[in-house]
Structure 1
Amino acid sequence: MNKAELIDAMASDAGISKAQAKKALDSFTSNVADSLGKGGRVSLVGFGSFSVSKRQAREGRNPQTGAPIKIAAKNVAKFKPGAELNDKLN
């Protein structure tokens, strides 16, 4: 499912226009990104939790030459599914 399909599904399920669904989805993603950018965490009970994890600097290899390269440390977004989501998947 891509963003357009998700907007269509949200509009249909909630009985709202596609424009309203797009605005709601954009607001959700923006607020999650802002919270994670500040080092916060977003928990949706039953669905899952978004958090930030620090990835340490490490040494990698250039796949074309095999030469070692340094990969810088960075923060990455993590998602941990909740119990209800896991139950739906299994």
Structure 2
Amino acid sequence: MAQKPMTKTQLVAALAEAMDSDKASANRFLDSLSEIVSKEVADGGAVTLPNLGKFACRERPERMVRNPATGEQIKKEADRTVKFTIAKALKDVING
């Protein structure tokens, strides 16, 4: 049975406890980290979070896609997306 995902409030509380800090500082840290990663990836760069993984921007070429409701083929313009690659250290923790 799957657990519910950790909420931001729970994550901030866990960070504050782990850092021996208050929740406001932990919240500012989390918001700053999110902002830095978002800005770097949006600029086409990549960010590695040690022992977790790597966020990177990926270019997708123009391609033909199908509308599942009508079956119609549509040309989708080239775009960019975020790719997350999990770190080996995290894989090892998950797989025990």
The TM-score, its normalising length taken from structure 1, stands at 0.89
Distance 2:31 2:23 in 1: 12
SS of 2:55's equivalent in the other structure is strand
The TM-score, its normalising length taken from structure 2, stands at 0.84
Q: Which amino acid aligns with 2:80?
A: N
Among 15, 20, 28, the alignment partner of 1:15 is: 20
Among 67, 81, 89, the alignment partner of 2:86 is: 81
The alpha-carbon deviation at position 65 of structure 1 amounts to 1.3
Matches within 5 A, 1:6-85: 6-85=11-90
Distance 2:89 2:19 in 1: 21
Distance 1:48 1:41 in 2: 11
SS of 1:69's equivalent in the other structure is strand
RMSD (CA atoms): 1.3
| Structure 1 stretches lacking a partner, 5+ long | none
The alpha-carbon deviation at position 29 of structure 1 amounts to 0.5
| Structure 2 stretches lacking a partner, 5+ long | 1-5
Distance 2:7 2:64 in 1: 34
Q: Which amino acid aligns with 2:67?
A: N
Distance 1:33 1:79 in 2: 12
